[in-house]
């Protein structure tokens, strides 16, 4: 299961049935869970924890030091969940002491070739990062979000759950959950209705989210008036409450 040319530090911890390809390097303070497949020419540096059943393809760099000029060799970490697919040339960096001290990635995500996740990012579960999608530091991405190819996300931006960013989007502000956004300076155009239908959202819930989007981000009424009108929907649907709270708590502002 481990190619003779692979270099594995004695301090690394490997689970059961781990496969490591030719010329891959596993550093100290790296923990790899059961049933992971590590292709050839992969470098995994520690401290880093990799969960179960992950597939990491050739030429990926996982857990390397953050690309932050303030970083001075402090101990920080990368945490990766289970069943992620990490394709060719993907780079996942550790956190910084100026951030949360770790980069955190959930489970069941797909990172296509050339994606980059910088220091202190927090990524949920079931996300898709198409080719060359890149996150600067301190970015948060919610569950089931999709980033189109060559999407670039500014540091400290927040992308909500089930959001969809189109090809080549430049994200400099927050993208609310359940919405679709695109553009060189990204703009949120509406609720991602088709995507939500495919994920089993009811017609009534999608209509409630659409109303929330229209009132919060398109209406000329005051925020107090809008929140009062949405009160019944936020009590009925947790998803609407999440959408509303995301918008009103945004620190970078919403990409309208």
pLDDT at 42: 98
Residues 65, 47 contacting (CB under 8 angstroms):
no
Task: Provide the residue ranges of all domains of the chain, joining segments of one domain with +.
Answer: 7-138, 195-249
Q: Please report which confidence band the pLDDT of residue 123 belongs to, taking 50, 70 and 90 as the band edges.
A: very high
CATH number of 195-249: 1.20.1180
CATH topology for 7-138 is: UDP N-Acetylglucosamine Acyltransferase; domain 1 (2.160.10)
CB atoms within 10 A of CB 200: 7
Tell me the catalytic residues: 119-120, 137
Other CB atoms within 10 Å distance of the CB of residue 112? 19
Say if CB 201 and CB 182 are below 8 A apart: no
* pLDDT of res. 85: 98
- Mean pLDDT in residue range 199-206: 95
pLDDT at position 219 is 85
Distance, CA of 180 to CA of 167 (rounded, Å): 11
The two tokens of residue 23 are 């010329």
| Total-model pTM | 0.95
User: pLDDT tens for residues 203-249?
Assistant: 999 999 999 999 999 888 888 889 998 999 999 999 999 999 999 99
- Beta bridge partners, 188, equal 181
According to the model, what pLDDT value does residue 185 have? Answer: 87
143-197 residue pLDDT tens: 999 999 999 999 999 999 999 999 999 999 999 999 999 998 899 999 999 999 9
């Amino acid at each position: 299961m481990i190619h003779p040319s692979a270099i594995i530090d004695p301090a690394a911890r490997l689970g059961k049935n781990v496969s490591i390809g030719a010329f891959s390097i596993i550093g100290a303070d790296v923990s790899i869970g059961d049933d992971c497949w590590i292709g050839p020419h992969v470098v995994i540096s520690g401290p880093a924890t990799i969960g179960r059943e992950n597939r990491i393809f050739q030429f990926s760099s996982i857990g390397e030091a953050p690309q932050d000029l303030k970083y001075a060799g402090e101990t920080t970490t990368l945490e990766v969940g289970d069943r992620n697919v990490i394709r060719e040339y993907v780079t996942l960096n550790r956190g910084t002491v100026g951030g949360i001290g770790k980069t955190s990635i959930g489970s069941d995500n797909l990172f296509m070739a050339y994606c980059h996740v910088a220091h202190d990012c927090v990524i949920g579960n079931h996300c898709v990062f198409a080719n060359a999608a890149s996150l600067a530091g301190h970015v948060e991405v919610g569950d089931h979000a999709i980033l189109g190819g060559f999407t670039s996300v500014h540091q400290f931006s927040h992308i909500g759950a089930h959001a969809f960013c189109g090809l080549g989007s430049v994200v400099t502000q927050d993208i609310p959950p359940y919405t679709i956004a695109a553009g060189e300076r990204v703009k949120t155009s509406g609720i991602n209705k088709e995507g939500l239908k495919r994920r089993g959202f009811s017609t009534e819930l999608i209509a409630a989210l659409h109303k929330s989007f229209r009132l919060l981000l398109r209406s000329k009424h005051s925020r107090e008036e809008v929140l009062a009108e949405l009160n019944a929907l936020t009590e009925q649907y947790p998803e609407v409450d999440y959408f509303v709270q995301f918008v009103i708590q945004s620190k970078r502002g919403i990409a309208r």
